A and B are shown apart, each in its own frame.
Chain A
Amino acid sequence: MTSVRLRAQDLELRYADRVVSTRLSLDVPDGAFTAIVGANACGKSTLLRALVRLLRPAEGSVLLDERDVGSYAAKALARSLGFLPQDPLAPEDIRVRQLIGRGRFPHQPMLSLWSAEDESAVSEAMTTAGVDGLADRPVNELSGGQRQRVWVAMVLAQRTPYLLLDEPTSFLDIAHQYRLLALLSRLRDEGRTVVAVLHDINQACRFADHLIAMKDGRVVAEGAAADVVDAALIKDVFDLPAVVVPDPVTGTPMVVPTLDGRTGPSG
């Protein structure tokens, strides 16, 4: 039985008068790689934003170590939960190493003295994310894949036990997608808890220990991919007819849609 330190209880999530989720509960297993999957606009990102307190739930609460995340001081929470949004914004003219250094903010006192620990955290994050060679480059001149790795390095420099990432693989080509997912798996192996919203169900099945499938703001299935992913779930969540076969490389479930463009949609 894995332990749980981060959980959501009976959340109601809304933007002004648009309700996204009601009575949403889930546990994030500790030390595991959790993938959240679902169709567009099913509330995945909203859930992630609620977990890191970017969105205050109208009802219910998100608990970290049995304490409401809303009750943590901003910097204290940021030392536990690292978060990478979907398209983060780099200040004009910032360089790679400077941007990654910004991940140290929650560890620094108000007047920001740069410590030896900051220095080593940044260097380590750069090596882990594979951006050592880019230190002096302006962030806005990097390719999409490089930029994404730089942002991941910034979150790594934060040295948080939790990493929550919103669609970290979008804008990346397929090779970079797999490299990033392998990196997240490695971080999980080193003891971090990873939560990622992923678009590609097959990647989620291959890399995640724990899958959370969402539809219309609700969790419709959660558990190990092998236990929860079948044709019925894909039909339910994505409204896509498919067969599920074992992945030839890993043996995890692999979803193969039966739509082929000639026969049209079938039952």
Chain B
Amino acid sequence: MVRAGGWLVRVERRTLVLSAALAALMLGAGLLGLCYGASWATPGEVLAALGGQGESVVVIRDWRLPRVLAGMVFGLALGVAGAIFQNLTRNPMGSPDVIGLDAGAYTGALVALTVFSGGSVVLATSSVVGGLAVAAMIYLLSSGGGLSGLRLVVIGIAVSAIVTAFNSWIVLRAELEVAIAAVGWSAGSLNGVDWADLPVPFTIIAVLLALMAAWSHTMHQAALGEAVASATGVGLHRLRLLMVLVGVGCTATVTSVAGPIAFIALAAPQIGRRLAGAAGVPLLPAALTGAVLLQGADLAAQMLLAPESLPVGVVTTAIGGCYLIWLLAKEVRRA
């Protein structure tokens, strides 16, 4: 019995060690992000600048730091959003970027930009509404097939294509100034993120992540399937509603600032799950893996064609697209 108890603790420990390692990796990538730029700074200079000393305070603290923090926090949010939807759909392809929630949130952002030309609160709200609208559309179209499975994913891919086309149409109709901004943003980019962009999305994401952390135990219980979950006391309706709201909220908030950054939400939960060797799709490894991936991709985006900075979405799409093809082939063979 004691040995068995020790086993349970060991599982926890593996997740803990992994999480600590991922967190260290995330901070390391953050430091690298602060060092890297038109001119390299040493880690010592970076730390001094963070403390407000040295000559590169403006460059590091005002230009690079918001971008690095955005990569970190948005990566966490995207990883969690992916894990939520993969749990909900019971499918490794059921992530918000694949089923079109990013595209829907982007529609919301474009509408806010072209119609309301509002600030970050309006943008975030409008993105969430767009994401929820697409979620509702997919749910209605796939009703009868239930929430889970390949059917919902395939319908989501189709909806995503339609919504993306609609987004292009909005951009074409928009005024030149807005259109240029929107195009630079449509691939998903952290270029030009500054401090003013961050307080609203960071607050929203913090609230959503805290909410989901409190419900994560219940979410894992729901992975036992409808019948067993209900019979062991999970209120599925409430849980699912909450999961959709948090998942869409995270995705849409990121999209409202950085545009639709694809494939982080798809890949991070599965990588985190394999690393943690855990049952189901756990949230914490997904979140930290998301942060590491997004920061890594953003660094690559800055370095590949330096001094030109690519939108980070180009990098994630190029890598993630290959992963999606492999996943699709595997899933279709299984189904």
**Contacts from A to B (Cβ < 8 Å):** 49, 52-54, 73-79, 81-85, 88-95, 97-99, 101-103, 105-106, 108, 110-112, 114, 119-120, 122-123, 135-136, 154, 158
Contacts and interface: CB of A to CB of B under 8 A. Distances in A.
A242 B234 CA distance: 45
B227 A112 contact: no
Interface of B: 1, 4-5, 7-8, 11, 214-215, 217-218, 220-221, 223-228, 230-235, 273, 277-280
Contacts of B231: 52, 54, 78, 81-83, 85
Contacts of A49: 227
A111 B218 CA distance: 9
7 contacts: A74-B230, A74-B233, A83-B228, A90-B224, A91-B223, A102-B221, A105-B232
Which of B220, B221, B228 has the most chain A CB atoms closer than 10 A to its own CB?
B228
Given A78-B231, A105-B233, A108-B217, A89 B224 contact: yes
Contacts of B277: 93
A158 B234 CA distance: 13
Contacts of A110: 214-215, 217-218
A62 to B, nearest CB: 14
Nearest to B234: A74
B227 A105 contact: no
Contacts, number: 95
A93 B1 contact: no
A35 B228 CA distance: 21
Contact of B233 (A77, A114, A120, A135): A77
Contact of A89 (B1, B5, B214, B228): B228
A111 B8 CA distance: 16
B232 A114 contact: no
B224 A78 contact: no
B227 A54 contact: yes
Nearest to A107: B233
A92 B7 contact: no
B8 A93 contact: no
Contact of A123 (B1, B214, B221, B230): B1
Nearest to B230: A54
